[in-house]
Amino acid sequence: MQFLKYDIALLNWVHDHLISHSIPLLQLISDTTTYMSIAMAFVVIIIAFLRKSKRLLWQFFMLISVLLMVLLVSQGIKGLIKRDRPFDTYPNIEKLSTGGDSSFPSGHTLEAFAMAAALSLLYSRKRITLPVYAWAVMVAYSRVALGVHYPSDVLAGIVIGTIIGWVVPWIFNKAVPL
């Protein structure tokens, strides 16, 4: 029960300290999550074809598998744990973005961190890992700031997404080591 108190207090603090001029940018970051994830995977396949690289093609399929696993796990958990959205429960929290039925976990955050984790395993260069993790953190923050998720929803998305981003490439590498 104490944890929920902190969860709600942090949600209120973030929402109360939101800079109104940042709302359009936060909405854009939030709304483009899946487009960015797909774009990152397609950059890999384009480079694979340009370089005629079977390894990059394999990595493209790995990233698509990460996205499919994100969809299955996220929707599965949301179907099992039906948590109301913050704006439904607390009248002082304004809904500033889209949100589906269940709040837990944050699907946007789960997806962003799954992609960031997978990409950081595949391409461990700072010029790749820093921007993708910065993007993932911005997605996570945007979901709380826009009033559609509790901090604990986002934290669960970070943890579950990171696990998916590590496990799917590990399974691929065990199945067909390149």
pLDDT tens string 71-81: 999 999 999 99
Tokens 């944890």 found at: 3
* Banded model confidence at residue 110, pLDDT cuts 50, 70, 90: very high
Query: What's the average model confidence in pLDDT over 36-52?
Result: 95
Give pLDDT, residue 4.
84
Tokens 């934290």 found at: 155
CB 74 within 8 A of CB 62: no
Give the tens place of pLDDT for each residue, 19-41.
Answer: 889 999 999 999 999 999 999 99
Query: What's the average model confidence in pLDDT over 119-134?
Result: 92
Query: What's the average model confidence in pLDDT over 65-71?
Result: 97
Q: What is the CB neighbour count within 10 angstroms for residue 80?
A: 9
Taken in order 136, 139, 143, 144, the sign of the CA dihedral is positive
Query: What's the average model confidence in pLDDT over 7-22?
Result: 90
b (16+ CB within 10 A) / e for 136-160: bbbbbbbbbbbbbbbbbbbbbbbeb
Alpha helices in the chain (DSSP H): 2-16, 23-31, 33-51, 54-80, 86-89, 107-122, 126-145, 151-175
Class of residue 63 by CB neighbours under 10 A (exposed 0-12, middle 13-18, buried 19+): buried
Give pLDDT, residue 51.
95
Query: What's the average model confidence in pLDDT over 111-123?
Result: 95
Length reported for the chain: 178
* Banded model confidence at residue 178, pLDDT cuts 50, 70, 90: low
Q: Comparing 105 with 93, which gets the higher pLDDT?
A: 105
Q: What angle do CA 43, 47, 66 make, to 5 degrees?
A: 50
Give pLDDT, residue 116.
97
Give the tens place of pLDDT for each residue, 145-169.
Answer: 999 999 999 999 999 999 999 999 9
Type of residue at 135? W
Backbone angles phi, psi at 169, to 5 degrees: -60, -35
